Amino acid sequence: MQKIGREDIQIIAKHSNWSNEGVSKALEDHVYHKAKDWHQFLKWLFLGLGISFAVAGVIFFFAYNWDDLHKFVKLGIIGFLTIACVLGALLTKTKPPIKKMLVTAASILVGVLLAVFGQVYQTGANAYELFLNWTFFIALWVVIVHFAPLWTVFVTLVNVTIVLYSEQVAHGWSGVFLFTLLFWVNTIILVVFMLVGKWRESLYLPTWFTHLLALAAITCATLGNVNGIFDAVDSSYYLLTMTTLLVYAAGIWYGLSHKSPFYLSIIAFSLIVISSAYLIRLSDDAGMFLIISLYIITTITLVIWALIKLHKKWNP
């Protein structure tokens, strides 16, 4: 049986004589989180924090004791911990989330191992090559495990690799082109995950992950447009502007059709920032700054008012 949601209960209550007590009981039974749900959430939260602090402790251990450790000890410790995490995920009979967390920890330790190897043997590689190899080596784990925190690590590595490549190799890339590329990459990844989650329910990832991707894409679009407004005209700026309008229009449609105020709010605030930057580009005297201040206050107030109105409409 399909799970009953808040909207289902509200629709039934609106078109029937269902008592308030019955509606409240249905919400408590099917929608509201119970004590055991919070206990489960806190258990996984603290487990994730514990693994994260353990990995951070390994990193700081090497940073503090770097000069006192032999190179084989440095590589051996990290290699042993990485293998231990992988074997723990493969051989132990723990719950799947714990196994996925162990693989996530192993993926982070792979980066530490590559960094230590580069420092020990002074390979002379650029920083972007470290992150590129790191991304390549954990790609198979990421696809097989399909765990939101691990995907977050992977997407972060992809973004960092692109940024470092532009700084160390592609010196001809402008700031606008870099933000355009990052905007495209994060948007494509976001769309892929949305489509995959609808295609197969087992591949669905938590909403916070898609929201994080959307926030990253919108941030890159905002910074790229602001950069293009103030810097010399770049051909990629027009391309960024057109794709920004298309993606923002699609985001507004998605937010309205799926009753998601998150997409509506981040797009609205992005447009406020971009339009404010354009006003500053027109004039940077004191009077314009006063106008921009009033403009920001007014537009943010209108956005909040519209979101509250939509919330009341969607949740009568």
Q: Which two tokens stand for residue 80?
A: 């042993």
Amino acid (one-letter) located at 310 = L
- Residue 154 or 29, more confident: 154
Q: What pLDDT is recorded for position 124?
A: 61
Q: How confident is the model at residue 32 (pLDDT cuts 50, 70, 90)?
A: low
Residue 198: CB atoms within 10 A of its CB come to 10
**pLDDT score recorded for residue 236:** 84
pLDDT in the model for residue 9: 63
- Write down the pLDDT at residue 306: 92
Query: What is the distance between the alpha carbons of residues 75 and 166, in angstroms, rounded to a whole number?
Result: 30
Report percent pLDDT > 70 for the chain. 82
Residues contacting 59, CB < 8 A, separation 6+: 112
Average pLDDT, the chain: 83
pLDDT per position as a tens digit, 177-236: 999 999 999 999 999 998 887 777 777 788 889 999 999 999 999 999 998 888 766 778
Per-residue pLDDT, 1? 43
Residue 32 zone, left/alpha/beta (φ > 0; ψ -120 to 50; rest): beta
State residue 169's pLDDT score: 85
DSSP state of 201: G
Three-state DSSP state, 124: coil
- Residues 6 or more apart whose CB falls under 8 angstroms from that of 304 comprise none
Query: Which one, of 114, 191, 204, 98, lies nearest residue 157 by Cα?
Result: 114
The arithmetic mean of pLDDT across residues 110-126, rounded, is 76
Given a cut of 60, whether residue 2 has pLDDT beyond it is no
| pTM confidence score | 0.81
Q: Where are the domains of the chain?
A: 172-316
Max mean pLDDT among 26-40, 57-71, 284-298 falls in 284-298
pLDDT at 60 over 80: no
φ, ψ for residue 53, nearest 5 deg:
-65, -35
Identify the residue whose tokens are 């992150």: 131
pLDDT at position 122 is 67
Q: What number is the average pLDDT over the span 288-315?
A: 89
